[in-house]
Structure 1
Amino acid sequence: MKRLAITSVFAAMTIMAAPAQADDLFTGDVRLACEAVLCLSSGTRPSECAPSLQRYFSISAKKMSDTIKKRKSFLNLCPAASQDEKMASLVDAITNGAGRCDYASLNSSLRSWRRTGDGIETYIRNSLPSYCTAYNNNAYTDIKEPRYVGVPERGGHWVDADKYDAALAEYNKRIAAEDEARRRAQSSGYFGNRNR
């Protein structure tokens, strides 16, 4: 069903872009904006997406909120971006989520610190931000949502959805080795002999 919705959006944008004459083709930022909407709606981005994505991600400001506003204004140059509420919702989802919801960005932006008895410990939160959920689950996007491996207290982290099974196996192997090392240390009396 989601693919059907995405296909109909692409078809609508193609019809809008279909020229009566060759001179009527979109050009410049209007063309790049339409291409960016299409490319950022899909997890698969062919090389033809490079110019529009480079233009989109080159838009920045000092504050993230201003960057989002400028990027939204750019995407709104595409006539299809405001054709109905669903397309407006797609543009909102893209401007808030694109470039911020991949596993690498999540591992960076969701890094937190907590004080422990041994000092300060870092961990990565396992709750996906609402803007990522809106972007990944929009009716017009076809993006595989990153997945969280493990638990925050034991080095959990976000991974690409396609690599989840391998990452989970590696994580479980590491946890088992850590638990075994801890068990051996405890059974040898290492922890119990610290004060002697």
Structure 2
Amino acid sequence: MKKKFILAALVVTLGSTAGTVSTQDVLTGDTRLACEAILCLSSGTRPRECTPSLSRYFSISYRKLSDTIRGRLNFLKLCPVANQTPEMQSLVSAISRGAGRCDAASMNSTLVMWRGSYDDGTTYISNQMPDYCAAYTGHAYTDFSSSGTLPRYVGTPERGGYWVEARGYDHALAEYSERIRREDEERRRQSWLN
């Protein structure tokens, strides 16, 4: 509830900023898209109206990740409210670092770890959300936890756990549990044979 109130305050702030200019000076172009992107990326649910601003935001891409993050941050800073308060500055910074990198697919590909020796080891997917994702999804001005859109981890790293989108968690957990049950059953069968 608190986060919904904060998002509403953000909308009011954006509206009041736009309301102080004459009708000829209404936010347009990249300035408007930057403000819309801040609103759209502050929530885990994204309506169709977010498509133009999110397309513009995610089109900012460079060879180096650090350059992409900097470019996206500079784009978001085009919004007049982006620097109004320390909280808004930290939101814009968190969005630029986390948006597009904290979904289940991204975390499953970037959180792959190696356990064991060089010749004999295995990979697994860490169940620890990266700091930049925690800063983004847990920011006071975002609404991921209460909207039920925060990616969730299924299982344990040692047994092939992985990240899924919140809406698919129950199904993924059931599949994972069934796989673990079959693996345990096979291990027990093999131990009886030996």
Q: CA deviation at 1:75?
A: 0.3
Equivalent of 1:154 in 143, 159, 163:
159
Could you tell me how far apart the structure 1 residues matched to 2:94 and 2:118 are? 41
**Do the aligned partners of 1:123 and 1:152 also contact (CA within 8 Å) in 2?**
yes
Equivalent of 2:177 in 155, 162, 172:
172
Q: Any stretches of 5+ residues in structure 2 without a counterpart?
A: none
- CA deviation string 1:121-177 (max 9, x = no partner): 221011111110110111111123211111111110001123222222221111011
Could you tell me how far apart the structure 2 residues matched to 1:186 and 1:118 are? 26
Percent identity, please: 56
- CA deviation string 1:24-83 (max 9, x = no partner): 211111011111111111111111111111111111222111111111011000001111
User: What secondary structure sits across from 1:141 in the alignment?
Assistant: coil
Aligned residue type for 1:187: W
Q: Any stretches of 5+ residues in structure 1 without a counterpart?
A: 190-196
- The alignment yields a C-alpha RMSD, in angstroms, of 1.7
Aligned residue type for 2:38: V
The residue correspondences of 1:5-84 to structure 2 (distance < 5 A) are 5-18=6-19, 21-84=22-85
Structure 1 position 184 matched with structure 2 position 185: no
Q: CA deviation at 1:19?
A: 6.0
Larger Rg over CA atoms: 1
Q: CA deviation at 1:10?
A: 1.1
Could you tell me how far apart the structure 2 residues matched to 1:29 and 1:16 are? 16
User: What secondary structure sits across from 2:181 in the alignment?
Assistant: helix
User: What secondary structure sits across from 1:166 in the alignment?
Assistant: helix
* TM, length-normalised to structure 1: 0.90
**Do the aligned partners of 1:19 and 1:25 also contact (CA within 8 Å) in 2?**
no
